[in-house]
Chains A and B, each alone.
Chain A
Amino acid sequence: MQEFKIADKIYTSRLLIGTAGYPNFHIMTASIAASGAEIATVSMRRVKFTDTPGENLFALLRERDITILPNTAGCFTAKDAILTATLAREALETSLIKLEVIGDEETLFPDVEQLLRAAETLVKDGFTVLPYCNDDPITCKKLEDLGCAAVMPLGAPIGSGMGIRNPYNIQIIRDLVQVPLIVDAGVGTASDAAIAMELGCDGVLLNTAVAKAHRPVLMAEAMKKAVEAGRAAFLAGRIPRKLYATASSPQAGIIE
Chain B
Amino acid sequence: MKIRVNGEAKTVHPNLNVHALLIALEMDPLQSGIAVAVDREVIPKTEWQATALRENSEVEIIRAVQGG
Contact = CB atoms under 8 A, between A and B. Distances in A.
Partners in one complex: yes
Contacts of A43: 64-68
Please tell me the size bucket of the interface on B: 20 to 34
Contacts of B36: 90
A128 interface: no
Interface string A6-44: 000000000000111110000010000000000001111
A90 B44 contact: yes
Contacts, number: 97
Contacts of B68: 18-21, 41, 43, 71, 73, 158-159, 207-208
Interface of A is mostly: mixed
A47 B7 CA distance: 11
Contacts of B50: none
B27 interface: yes
Contact of B64 (A18, A70, A208): A70
A48 B25 CA distance: 11
A91 interface: yes
Contacts of A92: 33, 64
Interface string B25-68: 11100001111110010101100000000000000111111111
A90 B42 CA distance: 8
B15 interface: no
A92 B27 CA distance: 17
A118 B33 CA distance: 23
Q: What 10 A-B pairs are tightest by C-beta distance, nearest first?
A: A43-B67, A18-B68, A58-B33, A91-B35, A207-B68, A90-B35, A46-B6, A42-B64, A87-B35, A19-B66
Given A42-B66, A73-B67, 8 more contacts: A19-B66, A19-B68, A46-B6, A71-B67, A86-B42, A90-B44, A91-B64, A207-B68
